[in-house]
């Protein structure tokens, strides 16, 4: 089991590094050994579990909805991957009693010094909010301490933030809060286990809130405008983005007229940029046309074409299957990444085995294909840079649109500076 976990972790780490432009993590406060419960938010389906599992250098166990264990084969496979079923009302009230087995399995993992990841919101919704926490994690702790009074375990909070969760080659920010230790003495401080769970949830909520960017749906345009125009955007600073989100809320509460102006200016600026297929990120990163970069791009074009040719088939099939089968937006990125990873792996392995029938060097095909894939991703970034530079030049030639955009950006800079969001 441990070997399967390690192999899949190794594969998914490389898949994630290909799918995302950057995954920036600060998880130094997460204990590397001993019984541990990890409380995390849940914005992007089972992709959240994959990312956290790839960032933490210890095997994790995961609580998952019971309906995915319905078939005997799926039950076997999922348990080999350290998944434990949790029964919810949605799967039937009559099944809730089975959660006693969940508590017993979780307690056995903790007693053995293991770690369990729990998505404490109890639901996955793709937005930038922290929802009220469920009591499942607290109940696991209470049941474990009641069964083993001398036990001591730790609870770590992890916040996961997606820049643009549905986009390929976007960014992810992950950070952990302070770890709290719980034991029987802690439990006995309260008159009832329910009070202990509420107290623990309050602590976890505060820790998660300190490491999650929280933005209302109607504020997303302003948030992306200010964060992408911010001088710290390249650093991908979590603290800075949290500050921007809080400032927007403060602005709406204390200065609604300014907030309304920011919303309208951001919306109009976005319309102009979209017309030229640009965004704030591309607007900030281009100073002029780079002819030396263009020359390199032209010289490497045949190699990039070859790299795409040997990798495109499994990735294209994975994309098409995801588009036609996944209806819920929260599952799109998760299914696509897992499908692409598995299809690419099987496809390249099959070709490698076929080539090795003719020459033993055929076994090198698979690692070479991955190297070519990483090269193509770099080439793709260069292509986007050159395209956006050309589009920016086109925008600058359209004097009316360009002057209007400059005026809007000047006003946006003025508003953000008036609320303490000047250059960072």
148 contact partners, CB below 8 Å, separation of at least 6? 107, 111
| The pLDDT of residue 77 | 77
Nearest to 236 by CA among 164, 285, 165, 163: 163
Over residues 9-67, the pLDDT tens digits come to 999 999 999 999 999 999 999 999 999 999 999 999 889 999 999 999 999 999 887 77
The residue-averaged pLDDT of 238-261 equals 93
| The pLDDT of residue 123 | 87
Mean of per-residue pLDDT scores for the chain: 90
| The pLDDT of residue 199 | 93
Residue 286: pLDDT band by 50, 70, 90 thresholds? low
Rounded to the nearest 10 degrees, how much is the dihedral formed by the CA atoms of 307, 377, 17, 326? -90
- 3-state SS assignment for residue 157: strand
Among all chains, which residue has been given the structure tokens 């005997």?
A: 72
Contact present, 57 and 73 (Cβ < 8 Å): no
Over residues 352-385, the pLDDT tens digits come to 999 999 888 889 999 999 999 999 999 999 999 8
The residue-averaged pLDDT of 313-332 equals 88
Contact present, 401 and 283 (Cβ < 8 Å): no
Distance CA 179, CA 27 (A): 11
CA 84 vs. chain centroid, Å, equals 22
Over residues 189-230, the pLDDT tens digits come to 888 899 999 999 999 999 999 999 999 999 999 999 999 888
Report the range of poorest mean pLDDT among 21-30, 184-193, 282-291. 282-291
Contact present, 383 and 397 (Cβ < 8 Å): no
Number of residues that make up the chain: 424
| The pLDDT of residue 328 | 80
| The pLDDT of residue 5 | 85
88 vs 156 pLDDT, higher one: 156
Nearest to 412 by CA among 282, 244, 212: 244
Distance CA 411, CA 376 (A): 39
Query: Is 424's pLDDT higher than 60?
Result: no
Residue 285: pLDDT band by 50, 70, 90 thresholds? low
| The pLDDT of residue 3 | 80
Between the alpha carbon of residue 197 and those of residues 12, 102, 187, 190, 392, the distances in Å are 34, 18, 9, 10, 55
Rounded to the nearest 10 degrees, how much is the dihedral formed by the CA atoms of 108, 112, 115, 121? 20
Query: Is 91's pLDDT higher than 80?
Result: no
Rg of the chain on CA atoms, in Å: 25
109 vs 3 pLDDT, higher one: 109
14 vs 92 pLDDT, higher one: 14
- 3-state SS assignment for residue 214: coil
Nearest to 352 by CA among 370, 365, 371: 365
308 contact partners, CB below 8 Å, separation of at least 6? 376
Residue 152: pLDDT band by 50, 70, 90 thresholds? very high
Nearest to 304 by CA among 389, 234, 386: 386
Strand partners, 139: none
Q: Which stretches of 62-192 are DSSP H helices?
A: 72-80, 99-111, 136-147, 184-188
Contact present, 410 and 403 (Cβ < 8 Å): no
- Counting residues of the chain whose pLDDT is more than 70, the rounded percentage is 96
Q: 227-251 in b/e burial notation, b at 16+ Cβ within 10 A? A: bebbeebeebbbebbbbbbebbeeb
Nearest to 38 by CA among 103, 152, 114: 114
Rounded to the nearest 10 degrees, how much is the dihedral formed by the CA atoms of 167, 42, 34, 206? 110
Over residues 293-318, the pLDDT tens digits come to 899 999 999 999 999 999 999 999 99
Distance CA 263, CA 403 (A): 19
Residue 235: pLDDT band by 50, 70, 90 thresholds? confident
Domains of the chain: 2-209 (3.40.1130.10), 217-276+402-418 (no CATH), 291-397 (no CATH)
Nearest to 285 by CA among 240, 229, 226: 229
Tokens of 25: 């993590």
| The pLDDT of residue 94 | 61
| The pLDDT of residue 30 | 95
């Amino acid at each position: 089991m441990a070997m399967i976990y390690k192999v899949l972790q190794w594969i998914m780490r490389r898949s994630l590094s290909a799918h995302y432009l950057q995954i920036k993590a600060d998880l130094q406060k997460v204990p590397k050994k001993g019984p541990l419960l990890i409380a995390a938010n849940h914005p992007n389906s089972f992709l959240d579990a994959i990312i956290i599992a790839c960032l933490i250098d210890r095997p994790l166990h995961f609580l998952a909805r019971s309906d995915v264990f319905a078939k005997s084969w799926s039950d076997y496979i999922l348990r080999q991957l350290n998944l434990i079923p949790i029964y919810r009302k949605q799967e039937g009230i009559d099944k809730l009693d089975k959660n006693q087995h969940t508590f017993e399995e979780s307690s056995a993992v903790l007693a053995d010094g293991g770690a369990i990841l729990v998505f404490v919101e109890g639901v996955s919704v793709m937005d930038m909010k922290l929802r009220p926490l469920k009591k499942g994690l607290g109940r696991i702790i209470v049941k474990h301490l009641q069964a083993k009074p001398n036990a001591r375990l730790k609870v770590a909070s992890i916040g996961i933030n997606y820049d643009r969760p549905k986009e390929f080659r976007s960014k992810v920010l992950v950070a952990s809060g302070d770890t709290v230790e719980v034991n029987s003495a802690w439990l006995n401080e309260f008159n009832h286990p329910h009070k202990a769970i509420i107290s623990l949830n309050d602590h976890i909520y505060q820790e998660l809130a300190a490491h999650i960017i929280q933005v209302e749906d109607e504020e997303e345009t302003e948030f992306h405008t200010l964060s992408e125009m911010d001088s710290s955007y390249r650093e991908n600073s979590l603290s800075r983005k949290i500050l921007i989100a809080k400032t927007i809320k403060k602005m709406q509460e204390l200065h609604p007229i300014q907030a309304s102006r920011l919303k309208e200016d951001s919306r109009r600026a976005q319309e102009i940029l979209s017309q030229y297929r640009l965004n704030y990120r591309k607007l900030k990163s281009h100073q002029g046309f780079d002819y030396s970069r263009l020359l390199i791009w032209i010289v490497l074009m045949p190699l990039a074409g070859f790299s795409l040719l040997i990798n495109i088939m499994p990735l294209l099939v994975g994309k098409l299957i995801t588009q036609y089968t996944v209806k819920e937006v929260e599952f799109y990125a998760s299914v696509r990444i897992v499908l692409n990873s598995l299809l690419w792996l099987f496809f390249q392995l099959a070709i490698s085995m076929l080539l090795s029938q003719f020459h033993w060097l055929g076994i090198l095909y698979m690692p070479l294909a991955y190297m070519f894939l990483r090269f193509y991703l770099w080439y793709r970034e260069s292509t986007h840079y050159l395209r956006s530079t050309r589009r920016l030049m086109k925008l600058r030639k359209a004097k009316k649109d360009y002057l209007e955009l400059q005026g809007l950006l000047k006003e946006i800079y003025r508003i953000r500076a008036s609320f303490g969001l000047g250059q960072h």
